[in-house]
Amino acid sequence: MRPSDPTADAPAADADLGTIRRFLPYLWPAGRADLKARVLLALLLVLAAKAVLLAMPFALKAIVDGMAAAGDAREEASAVVLGMVAAYAVARLGATLFDNLRNVVFERVGQEAWLTLAVEVFRHLHALSLRFHLERRTGSLAKVIERGTKSIDTMLYLLLFSLAPVIVELLAVSAIFAARIGPGLAAATLAMVALYALYTWKVTTWRTALRRKSIELDGETSGRAVDSLLNFETVKSFSAEEREVAAYARVSRAYAEAALRTENSLAVLNIGQAAITAVMLGGAMGWIVLGWRDGRFTPGDVILVQALLLQLFRPLDILGMVYREVKQGLIDMGAMFRLLDTPAEVVDAPGAPALVVTRGEVRFEDVRFGYDASRPILKGVNFTAPPGSRIAIVGPSGAGKSTLARLLFRFYDVTGGAIRIDGQDIRTVTQESLRRAIGIVPQDTVLFNDTLGMNIAYGRAGATAAEIERAIAAAQLDGFVRKLPEGLATRVGERGLKLSGGEKQRVAIARAMLKDPPILILDEATSALDSATEAEIGEALLAAGSGRTTLVIAHRLSTVADADRILVMEDGRIVEEGSHAELLARQGVYKAMWELQATEAGEAQPALS
């Protein structure tokens, strides 16, 4: 067995203590006298259960001593002994009763702690920036939350109702031994329990490392098998079956050896624990027998000592499991607390007022921005979208078109310049009011795995059925809804995959129109659609933008030819602007893009016929 380095564990121990300190307020919540009362009552029930358990060995001692001392007066003694038997049975029932009452009383505390922390983490995740969510896997975030919140219940019960009662019982048993048997037995009990705990901790730490290695090799074995079978055709093509089998056998053998060491280490743990328990029991009972020989103890004292030690060591058998689970719980909770400590990149200014939209003018003033400081995306963008106008933004991929929409929503803050709506710098108003004033129809419409009606109604909380119907009609979605057997109650599937691209876009349009924002962004809203569907959706988009300040981000120039003004972006700058006719007359970037797209459309036509 490899000894652990205590200096290496010091930072981890500090982190564990920090996690516990961070967690305690959820166990003892401020302003919740009812929950604090439940915690105290649960602890009293723990003490009551332990008191009853400690009384049981005394009942057994009285039974044995009563039977031993009865002699020929068994008839008279039997009533007393039977009374002690009844007391023993009642005590046993009482211990179970108090334990279960403790669980009933404390359960609300655990659930409230879980609920409070889970909601706090979920709210914080929604407050974090888009950058954070783009850089993290959603699945890994969900796992952090799931494991962290689940560990709350585990930590509460293990710390309060496994470790704490054992400590209480150890102190009580030591006090009983010191008072009735002698200080030597009390000291021996404390020493052997300390040895038992130290041994369990050392072996469990060793076993945890072995188990971690075994799990890693198990994953590698599975991954190797899946990778080989997925590339079945390639394996056959190169006659590499034996090579694959040999590689699989190699990783499988490594896993088998690791699994063997892990299982054998359990025997080391169990045998060592049993040896310490046996030495303690044998020594204590032998000491009592010697005392009985000298007339200092009764036969019942053997039963008393044996029962007390068994009750004390029985929960210690799971000490390894408790340590492992507590350690894992601290790791999981620590990861969740680190998530909570992640600062939000975009925050409201202190006392920020709500955005007031009176006209809907959008102005970009020398806007500069880069997702990475070493790679600027926008390099001084200037333009004004007058109230009610339709402004198109075009350009090649990577020019920074969609970045403009993200900055307007304030998913990121500009690194230079300013964005103003009706003269108000969007960094000085609340994010909630800003986003309430802007609607968007994105290129890739992602829907909730819920009903069609819910996804449309998501545009504005509290919208009436009549308002939803009007939005559906305006988005030209009413005909599609009528054809569905379940109508608006139809489930759209995960990410809306049960709907076609055109249907999803119409849902997005209906949702945006239900929101009824003064400013609308159409971000490549038809780029993923075929020409026929694009033409149909185009009418709905024109209706959606009517009377609003509309920014149309597009790749296909034909969809924005009717815009009031067209901005041509290239390499993070606006290089041309004007109407469709004006830009064509300039013989510049826009004209070249138009001719290229027209040529591509002409070449594609024969292939479609």
Which tens digits make up the pLDDT trace of 164-195? 788 888 888 888 888 888 898 889 989 988 89
Q: Are residues 300 and 367 in the same domain?
A: no
Q: Are residues 51 and 140 in the same domain?
A: yes
Q: Which of 12-21, 69-78, 124-133 has the highest mean pLDDT?
A: 124-133
Which tens digits make up the pLDDT trace of 485-507? 888 888 887 655 677 777 888 88
Domain boundary among 313, 341, 369: 341
Q: Compute the distance between CA of residue 415 and CA of residue 376 in angstroms, rounded to an integer.
A: 10
Structure tokens at 130: 């888009």
pLDDT of res. 609: 32
Q: Are residues 429 and 289 in the same domain?
A: no
Specify the long-range contacts of residues 9-12, CB closer than 8 Å, at least 24 apart: none
Q: What is the CATH number of the domain that holds 286?
A: 1.20.1560.10
Return the higher-pLDDT residue of 161 and 97.
Answer: 97
Q: Are residues 313 and 454 in the same domain?
A: no
Q: Are residues 464 and 431 in the same domain?
A: no
Helix (H, G, I), strand (E, B) or coil at 348: coil
pLDDT of res. 436: 92
pLDDT of res. 437: 93
pTM above 0.75, yes or no: no
Q: Are residues 176 and 82 in the same domain?
A: yes
Residue 53 lies in a domain: yes
Residue 121 lies in a domain: yes
**Which pLDDT band, with edges at 50, 70 and 90, does 8 fall under?**
very low
Residue 464 lies in a domain: yes
Domain limits for position 582 = 355-437+520-531+548-609
* Residue 248: other Cβ atoms inside 10 A: 16
Domain boundary among 341, 364, 379: 341
Q: Are residues 265 and 381 in the same domain?
A: no
Residue 347 lies in a domain: no
Average pLDDT estimate for 53-67: 81
Report yes or no: 301 and 326 within 8 Å, Cβ to Cβ. Answer: no
**Which pLDDT band, with edges at 50, 70 and 90, does 353 fall under?**
very high
Residue 25 lies in a domain: yes
Which tens digits make up the pLDDT trace of 336-351? 888 888 888 889 999 9
Q: Are residues 455 and 427 in the same domain?
A: no
The edge-to-edge listing of strands for the beta sheet with 519-523 is: 438-441, 519-523, 549-554, 390-394, 565-570, 573-578
**Which pLDDT band, with edges at 50, 70 and 90, does 382 fall under?**
very high
Which has the minimum average pLDDT: 53-57, 351-355, 409-413? 53-57
Residue 44 lies in a domain: yes
Q: What is the CATH number of the domain that holds 590?
A: 3.40.50.300
Q: Are residues 501 and 561 in the same domain?
A: no
pLDDT of res. 75: 66
Which DSSP category does 491 fall into? B
Give the DSSP H/E element, type plus range, for residue 538.
helix 531-545
**Which pLDDT band, with edges at 50, 70 and 90, does 605 fall under?**
very low
Q: Compute the distance between CA of residue 189 and CA of residue 194 in angstroms, rounded to an integer.
A: 9
Q: Are residues 150 and 293 in the same domain?
A: yes
Q: Are residues 108 and 140 in the same domain?
A: yes
Indicate whether 604 pLDDT > 60: no
Residue 503 lies in a domain: yes
Indicate whether 385 pLDDT > 90: yes
Return the higher-pLDDT residue of 295 and 404.
Answer: 404
Domain boundary among 274, 306, 341: 341
CA dist list (Å): 374 to 236, 435, 532: 47, 29, 42
Return the higher-pLDDT residue of 224 and 136.
Answer: 224
One-letter identity of residue 260: L
Helices (H) then strands (E): counts for the chain: 20, 10
Average pLDDT estimate for 531-539: 65
- Which region holds residue 565: left if phi is over 0, alpha if psi is between -120 and 50, else beta? beta
Q: What is the number of domains present in the chain?
A: 3
pLDDT of res. 5: 40
Q: Are residues 323 and 176 in the same domain?
A: yes
Residue 2 lies in a domain: no
Report yes or no: 51 and 86 within 8 Å, Cβ to Cβ. Answer: no
Mean of pLDDT over the chain: 82
